[in-house]
Amino acid sequence: MAVSSPHRNETAKIPEILRSALKKEINSMSNGKEKPEYFNLRPEVEKQYGYAHAVRVGREIKISGAVSMDDEGTPTAVGDMAQQMKNCYEDLRKVLSHYGCTFDDVVVENIYSTDMPAFLNEAAYRGEIYKNHFPTGTWLGVKELALPEFMIEIEMEAFISD
């Protein structure tokens, strides 16, 4: 005996593109195996050093540390903490934007600095970045970063809201 569902014909009313997206969402929720989506801001530099600038899995985005560099990987704003910080946040803005996010979506921010007093003198700039709330995070003084010219490195995690 066949059982008929009152919702059986309802799927015919859903446009094909929406049905496809809905299927993907249901499948990802049911098996818990969402595929990572990688993003490279500077593909050649990131390939050379062996990392991806960001990866999204589901609604979470992990963003590698941003430093002040040009598209060839050469340090910029050498010796200028304020400008290096601005350059880091500009790169991070580009990464967040790739995923349709803003700094409002950042939930964790970790800052590494080779000169904590210089960083602390410029830390108020973060108020221009985070207008609604600050994320959780840690500020760490470190002996050195990847290249001696880098004074600051900022890594983030973001969460995509509904």
The answer to the question of residue 149 being in a domain is yes
Checking 130-133 for CB contacts under 8 A at 24+ apart, the result is: 130/103, 130/104, 130/106, 131/103, 131/104, 132/104, 133/104
The answer to the question of residue 154 being in a domain is yes
CATH code for the domain in which residue 92 is found: 3.30.1330.40
Provide the domain limits for residue 45: 37-159
Burial class from Cβ neighbours inside 10 Å (0-12, 13-18, 19+) for residue 15 reads exposed
The answer to the question of residue 44 being in a domain is yes
Give the chain's domain count: 1
The owner of tokens 């059982």 is 3
The answer to the question of residue 82 being in a domain is yes
Q: Band of the pLDDT at 16, cuts 50, 70, 90?
A: low
The answer to the question of residue 6 being in a domain is no
- Judge whether residue 67 has pLDDT over 90: yes
Q: What is the mean pLDDT of residues 121-129?
A: 98
Pairing of strands 152-159, 106-113: antiparallel
The answer to the question of residue 57 being in a domain is yes
pTM of the entire structure?
0.79
The answer to the question of residue 31 being in a domain is no
pLDDT tens digits for range 47-63: 999 999 999 999 999 99
As a whole number, the mean pLDDT across the chain is 88
The answer to the question of residue 76 being in a domain is yes
